Amino acid sequence: MNRVWVVVRREYLERVGTKGFILSTIAVPLLMLGLMALSIFMGLRAEQSGRELALIDFTGRLHEPIAERMEDVGYSVEIIDPATGTEALDRRVLDDEIRAYMVLDDLTAEEGTFLYRGKESPGRVRSGLIRGIVVETVLETRLSFTEDVGGVRELLGGGQLEFEAVGEEQSDAARTSSLITGIVGAILLYMTMLIYGAYVLRSVLDEKRNRVVEVVISSIRPWQLMLGKILGVGSMGLTQLGIWASFGALLLFLGLPMVAANWPAAEAAVQIVEFLPSAGAVLLFLAFFLLGYFLYSALFAAVGAMCSREEDAQQAQFPVVMLLGIPFIMHMSTIQGGRVVWMEWAALFPFFSPILMYPRAVAGTVPLWMVALSLVLMGLAIVATAWVAGRIYRVGILMQGKRPTLRQLVRWVRAA
C-alpha cells in the first residue's frame, strides 16, 4: 500500500506543479466567463443599435398610439407625411440614416398586416415585438367601438399559465436552482470524467512507451500501479474542482456584494445567490463524480495499456468516449423538462448514472431509492470494471506492437 502512495504522490505532484495545470485551472474558467460576458455585451449592443424607424400612416389614426408604444420599448420613431412618397425613404434606408420604415394602410387597420421596408428583415424577436404592438393597437381601436365584455382584452392578450407544484413546497428559486444545478452538474461531470480519464490514459500510455513501466513493474504490482495512477490523477481533479469552487464562492460571497454596494445598478445580481446549489446537491455531485471517475478511469487505463502508439489509443478509446457521450446526448435531448420514464431506468445503468441520474436526483423527479440504487450499482460496477481492466492492464503494459483483437483481450482477462 505504501508503494501505491509513492505512485499517487508522483502522479499528483508531477501534474499539479505544471504550467499546464495552472493554465487550465485559471485560464479555462476565465475564458468561459470572458465568452459569456462577450456574448452578453454583443447582444446588448445589437439590441441598442438600429432602432431608428420611420412610419407612414395612410389611415391617419394608427401612427400616434403605435409610435408611442414603440418609443416605450426603445425605438425612435419618425412620423412621415404620407404625401412625401416612399422614394426618399428608400434612399434614407440605403444611406443607413434609418433602419427601415413601416407602411400602415387600410389592410393594417383591418387585419394587422403592414409593410416593413428595410435592408434586412427585423429578425424573429423584433418582428414579434413590432407585430404585437401593431396588433394590440389595431385591436384597441376596433374594440373601442364596443364594450370590453368580461375581460375579453386579457383573453386576447394570450392568457397566463400559473404553475403550482403538487405535493412539495419548493420555491420558484429553488426549482430554478435545482434545474440549473442539474444541467451544469451533468455538463461538468461529462467534461471532468472525459478529461481526467484521458489524463489516466495518457499517463499509462506514456509510461508504456518510454518503457519505464518495465522497470517499475519489478517494484510494484500492476494493480497497485494502476490504482496509484487513478488516485493520483483523481486527486489532481479534486484539487482543480476545489480551486474552481473556492474561486466561485469568493466571487459570489465577497466580490458580488462589494460590487453591489458600490454600484446600485448591479444590486439585482446579488439575487443570484438564491440560485446556488444546495449543500446536498454539492455532496451528491462529489459522489457521482468520484464513482463515475473511478468507473471510467479504469476503462481508460485499460485502453492505454492495450495500445503502444498514440494513434492506436485515439481509436481504441472511441468506445469509451461513446459510452460517456450517449447519456450526455440523451440528457441534452430531454433538457426541456418533462419526465421520460424509460430514461429514469436507463439512468440506473452504472455507466450512464452520473450524467442521467445526477440532474434527476437534484431536481427530485426520481424517488430516493432509485438514486441510492444507482450509487450502489455504480459501486458494484467499479469492482467488476476494475477487475477486468486490471487484468487487461497487467498484460497490456508489457506488450508492444499491435493492438490486441477482442478475442486476445478476452484471453488476457481469462489468463490467471
Partner 1 sequence: MRIANVNYIKVDHVMEPAVRLSGVTKVFGDHTAVSDFDFTIPRGAIYGLLGPNGSGKTTTIRMIMGILLPDQGSVELFGGSPDFSRRNRVGYLPEERGVYEKMKVIDQLVFLGELRGLTRRHVRARAVEWLDRLDLTEWATRKVQDLSKGMQQKVQFIGTVLHDPELLILDEPFSGLDPINQDVLESIVLEQKQRGTTILFSTHLMQQAERLCERVCLISGARKVLDGNLKEMKRRERSGVVAVEFEGDDRWLSWPGVSDVERVGDAFHLSLRPGAGHDEILAAAVAEGVSLRRFELLEPGLHEIFVRHAGDGPEESQAYGPGGGS
Q: Work out whether 7 is an interface residue with partner 1 (CB under 8 A).
A: yes
Q: Give min distance, CB of 241 to partner 1, in A.
A: 23
Q: Residues 6 or more apart from 393 whose CB is under 8 A from it?
A: 204, 222, 223, 226, 301, 302, 305
Among the listed residues 28, 180, 216, 326, the single contact to partner 1 using CB under 8 A: 216
Q: Give min distance, CB of 398 to partner 1, in A.
A: 5
- Cell 485499460 belongs to 302
> By CB under 8 A, what part of segment 218-277 binds partner 1?
218-221
The alpha carbons of the chain give a radius of gyration, in whole angstroms, of: 31
> By CB under 8 A, what part of segment 171-210 binds partner 1?
207, 210
* Nearest partner of 49 among 60, 41, 59, judged by Cα: 41
Q: Give min distance, CB of 387 to partner 1, in A.
A: 19
DSSP 416: -
In angstroms, the CA 323 to CA 28 distance is 25
Q: Work out whether 149 is an interface residue with partner 1 (CB under 8 A).
A: no
DSSP collapsed to 3 states, 212-226: HHHHHCCCCCHHHHH
Q: Give min distance, CB of 213 to partner 1, in A.
A: 8
Q: Give min distance, CB of 32 to partner 1, in A.
A: 28
Helix (H, G, I), strand (E, B) or coil at 104: strand
> Contact region for partner 1 (CB under 8 A) — 216-224, 252-260, 263-271, 281-289?
216-224
> Contact region for partner 1 (CB under 8 A) — 108-116, 217-225, 230-238, 267-275?
217-225
C-alpha angle 149-150-152 in degrees, rounded to nearest 5: 75
> Contact region for partner 1 (CB under 8 A) — 43-51, 154-162, 190-198, 213-221?
213-221
Of 171 and 219, CB closest to partner 1: 219
Per-residue x/- track, 379-398, partner 1 (CB under 8 A): -------------------x
Q: Work out whether 215 is an interface residue with partner 1 (CB under 8 A).
A: yes
**Beta bridge partner(s), residue 102:** 55, 116
Q: Work out whether 48 is an interface residue with partner 1 (CB under 8 A).
A: no
- Spatial contact of 229 and 200, defined as CB atoms under 8 Å apart: yes
Q: Give min distance, CB of 231 to partner 1, in A.
A: 15
Among the listed residues 1, 2, 87, 151, the single contact to partner 1 using CB under 8 A: 2
Counting Cβ atoms within 10 Å, is residue 360 exposed (0-12), middle (13-18) or buried (19+)?
Answer: buried
- Spatial contact of 124 and 104, defined as CB atoms under 8 Å apart: no
Q: Work out whether 217 is an interface residue with partner 1 (CB under 8 A).
A: yes
Q: Work out whether 405 is an interface residue with partner 1 (CB under 8 A).
A: no
Q: Give min distance, CB of 342 to partner 1, in A.
A: 47
- Spatial contact of 277 and 362, defined as CB atoms under 8 Å apart: yes
Q: Which three cell numbers stand for residue 154?
A: 386579457
Which amino acid is located at 227 in the chain? L
Q: Work out whether 411 is an interface residue with partner 1 (CB under 8 A).
A: no
What is each CA distance from 84 to 89, 111, 360, in whole angstroms?
9, 25, 62
Of 96 and 214, CB closest to partner 1: 214
Q: Give min distance, CB of 11 to partner 1, in A.
A: 10
- Spatial contact of 389 and 298, defined as CB atoms under 8 Å apart: yes
> Contact region for partner 1 (CB under 8 A) — 66-74, 104-112, 214-222, 283-291?
214-222
> By CB under 8 A, what part of segment 314-343 binds partner 1?
none
Of 9 and 175, CB closest to partner 1: 9
Q: Work out whether 213 is an interface residue with partner 1 (CB under 8 A).
A: yes
Sequence-ordered alpha helix ranges (H) in 144-278: 152-156, 172-209, 212-216, 222-250, 256-262
Of 292 and 304, CB closest to partner 1: 304
Q: Work out whether 310 is an interface residue with partner 1 (CB under 8 A).
A: no
Sheet strands side by side (includes 115-118): 76-80, 52-57, 100-104, 115-118
Q: Which three cell numbers stand for residue 221?
A: 504490482
- Cell 400602415 belongs to 104
Q: Work out whether 14 is an interface residue with partner 1 (CB under 8 A).
A: yes
Catalog residues that contact partner 1 under the rule CB under 8 A.
Answer: 2-3, 6-7, 10, 14, 18, 207, 210-221, 398
